[in-house]
Structure formats: C-alpha cells, structure tokens
Amino acid sequence: GEDVEQSLFLSVREGDSSVINCTYTDSSSTYLYWYKQEPGAGLQLLTYIFSNMDMKQDQRLTVLLNKKDKHLSLRIADTQTGDSAIYFCADSYSSASKIIFGSGTRLSIRP
C-alpha cells in the first residue's frame, strides 16, 4: 500500500543547514510535498515538486527528488529559530486525489 516514511526528530544548530529525508513507496506518485506545522497551527504548504523534476529551489528551501530510490529531501539553509516545527513529507498521484502524509519530522534548533 501507499506509505511515506520519515525520521521523527532532527536537531540542528542555528545558522546551519537542516536536511529532512523522506521515502515513499508509491511509484505512481506525481506530486510530492513538504508541509510545515507549528504548534497550535494548521498545516502550511511549504513547497512541492513534480515527479518529473530532480530539484526545486525556493529561497532557503531546496527539494531533491530521487525517483529511482523514491527518496525526497528538504534542505533548509541558514536554519533559524522560526524554522522550529514539524515537517511533513507527503505525496499524491493526481491533482484531485488524497494526499498521503508521513508521520512528520520534528525540527528543533539549538542556539
């Protein structure tokens, strides 16, 4: 069945880069997403990548997709305290379909 897996925790020093990794099982995934959830807040769509792309950069965010290994990563450059949140990797196979989410990676920032 469809599954998205990611590590539960990541701790980085302020100013360093954060890399959050994710693997997915559905080879027909067309859209891959990163959502951010801050305490008490809803899910915020951070960025996404289409399955026919290898990389997407958006300011401090870089998404890398290895479709062969079904591996997705999110790199946050110059990590700030405001980046503390839970980051969810997710995928879907069509624009109208449900999104399948991982369990989330909690990113904490050390001073």
> At its nearest, how many Å lie between another protein and the CB of residue 45?
6
Q: Does 52 bind another protein (CB under 8 A)?
A: no
How many residues bind another protein (CB under 8 A)? The answer is 23
Question: Which residue, among 41, 35, 5, has the nearest Cα to 21 in the 3D structure?
Answer: 5
Q: Give Cα 49 distance to the centre of its chain.
A: 10
Cα dihedral value 96, 40, 60, 77, nearest 10: -130
Q: Does 20 bind another protein (CB under 8 A)?
A: no
* Piece in contact with another protein (CB under 8 A), picked from 56-64, 65-73, 77-85, 100-108: 100-108
N-terminal to C-terminal alpha carbon distance within the chain: 41
Q: Taking CB under 8 A as the criterion, which residues in 67-96 touch another protein? A: 88, 90, 92, 95-96
Residue 91 has which token pair?
């995928």
Which of 12, 26, 46, 48 forms a contact with another protein (CB under 8 A)?
48
